[in-house]
Amino acid sequence: MVAWPLIDQMNPAADTLALSTVDFDLTAVEEGQQVKVMWQGKPLFVRHRTKKEIDLAVKDDTASLKDPQTDAERLLQVDGAAGNAQYLIMGANCTHLGCVPLGVNDAGFKGNFSGWFCPCHGSDYDSSGRIRSGPAPTNLPVPPFKYTTDTLVKIGAKA
């Protein structure tokens, strides 16, 4: 229709859409530490998980989950290759209304699953970033990424 250009102009522009990539050096993240990385205008969590957190995540693969996913699935690279269980990369916006949840080491953390807790309305995520309790409908989303070396990851990489 004639009006379409007037409407479509508001959709993301070409420069915004260009699936920008971010190269991140994982050696910057200590074990038990997390870092926030901006990608496509939104923050991501990059967490260097402890053995305890990894074991907890794998153990809960079979727990009753609102958005069922195994920990291994959430570590897969964009081309289907297995990822690295030590490093969890995922979106930092709660899937309820977009607040940034607090991690286990952050002040004010009140979660029950050793993962992330959103102070806005109480969504509680486990150590794999899966929603376990609260109003959020889905797990914290995992962006497409590819390891270019053992310690360098390209976030936003295409398959």
Q: Report the length, in residues, of the chain.
A: 159
Q: 114 vs 123, which CB is nearer to another protein?
A: 123
* CA–CA gap between residue 84 and residue 155 (Å, rounded): 14
Q: 83 vs 143, which CB is nearer to another protein?
A: 143
In the list 2, 6, 11, 30, the residue contacting another protein (rule: CB under 8 A) is 11
Is the distance from CB of 91 to CB of 44 less than 8 angstroms?
yes
Minimum CB separation of residue 78 from another protein in Å reads: 17
Q: Is 100 a binder of another protein (CB under 8 A)?
A: yes
* CA–CA gap between residue 66 and residue 21 (Å, rounded): 30
Active site residue 121: yes
Q: Is 135 a binder of another protein (CB under 8 A)?
A: yes
The DSSP letter of residue 13 is: P
DSSP secondary structure of 112-159: SSEEEE-TTT--EEETTS-EEESS--SPPPPPPEEESSSSEEEET---
Beta-carbon contacts of residue 140 (< 8 Å; ≥ 6 apart): 45, 90, 91, 92, 93, 94, 95, 101, 116, 125, 129, 130, 131
In the list 98, 110, 152, 158, the residue contacting another protein (rule: CB under 8 A) is 98
Q: Which string of x and - marks every residue 39-78 that binds another protein (by CB under 8 A)? A: -xxxx-----------------------------------
Identify residues 12-31 at the interface with another protein (CB under 8 A).
Answer: 12-13, 16
- Which residues in this chain contact another protein in the complex, by CB under 8 A? 7, 10-13, 16, 36, 38, 40-43, 92-93, 96-100, 119-121, 135, 137
Catalytic site positions: 121
